[in-house]
Structure formats: structure tokens, C-alpha cells
Amino acid sequence: MPKQVESPSAVVVSGGKQYRVAPGDRVLVDRLAAEPGSSVKFGRVLLLHDGDQIQVGNPAVDGLEIEAKVLAHRRGPRIEVLRYKSKKNVRVHRGARADLTALEILGIGSAAKAEKADKADKTDKADKDEKPEKPARARASRKQAAAEPSEDS
């Protein structure tokens, strides 16, 4: 099913593989160390397509994050590996299943905007909480005063 042109889409990297995602998509990626129901963010976004604008990263788009919700941890289909050499009595049969994580893409947002807003809030609070500093008093210690010769004598 083709993706809608109006919705923003992005190419993200997870587990060394690239995925094209849009808000509302569900994707299977290699197992992530996150609990089901928790939220994960992908900071490595290679490309962003939003309407008529296309941003290509070098290597990643700066200040852009993709937020996703972990739905479940699953296992992929069984893959059988057979190796056979004729007349050599070599027969190897192995099976494997990939550990996967199901994700739902919540949104494509800018981390830079969120960080700027957080910093602005923190600086506003810090400015209100801080008391104005008093200038340091210039006092000479008694030893320094005794060691310096006075100009009167």
C-alpha cells in the first residue's frame, strides 16, 4: 500500500538497518532493550520528507528525532540453513529465528525545538530563583599588610 504524500515520512537507522517510517506505521526492528509500552527515540534520521520539502542528512539530519512506542517483543519466522557437499559426507542442518521488536511510530519531531524550549524554561526559573550576587570585599590579610612597607617611613 503506498504511503500518503501529505504525511511526513523519514528514513531511520535501527540495528544497522534502514527503515522508512511515517506517523502511525508499525514496523518490526531488531530486538531493542526496552519494555513493552515504553517509548523509544531514534536520533539517527537520514532523510526527512515533509510535503514538498526534503531534508537529506550528512550523514544524519541534525536535531531531528523519531518517537516510537514499543508494542511487543516477538520472534521472526524460522529460517533453515542446509549445507551439503556431494561425495564428502558433509551435511549440516541449522535453524534460526530472529528476535524482533514491534514498534508503532508516534511522531516525527524536532529535538532541537524541544531542547530550546526546555533550556528557556530552565533559565527563566534559574533567573527567578537566583539572588543577586554581592561584590567581593577587597580585604588584605593581616600578614600581607604587615609585610608591605609603608610609604610614611
CA distance 14 to 42: 8
Model confidence at 18: pLDDT above 50 = yes
Model confidence at 112: pLDDT above 50 = no
Question: Is residue 66 classed exposed, middle or buried when 0-12, 13-18 and 19+ CB atoms within 10 A define those classes?
Answer: buried
Band of residue 7 on the pLDDT scale cut at 50, 70, 90 = confident
**Helix, coil or strand: residue 44:** coil
Higher pLDDT, 92 or 130: 92
CA distance 69 to 65: 13
Question: Is residue 131 classed exposed, middle or buried when 0-12, 13-18 and 19+ CB atoms within 10 A define those classes?
Answer: exposed
Q: Which three cell numbers stand for residue 79?
A: 529460517
Model confidence at 102: pLDDT above 70 = yes
User: Is the C-alpha dihedral spanning 68, 39, 102, 82 positive or negative?
Assistant: positive
Place of cell 537507522: 13
What are the distances in angstroms from CA 81 to CA 84, 87, 89, 92, 96?
10, 20, 17, 8, 8
The alpha-carbon radius of gyration of the chain (Å, integer) is: 30
Instruction: Write down the pTM of the prediction.
Output: 0.64
Place of cell 550523514: 59
Mean pLDDT for the chain overall: 83
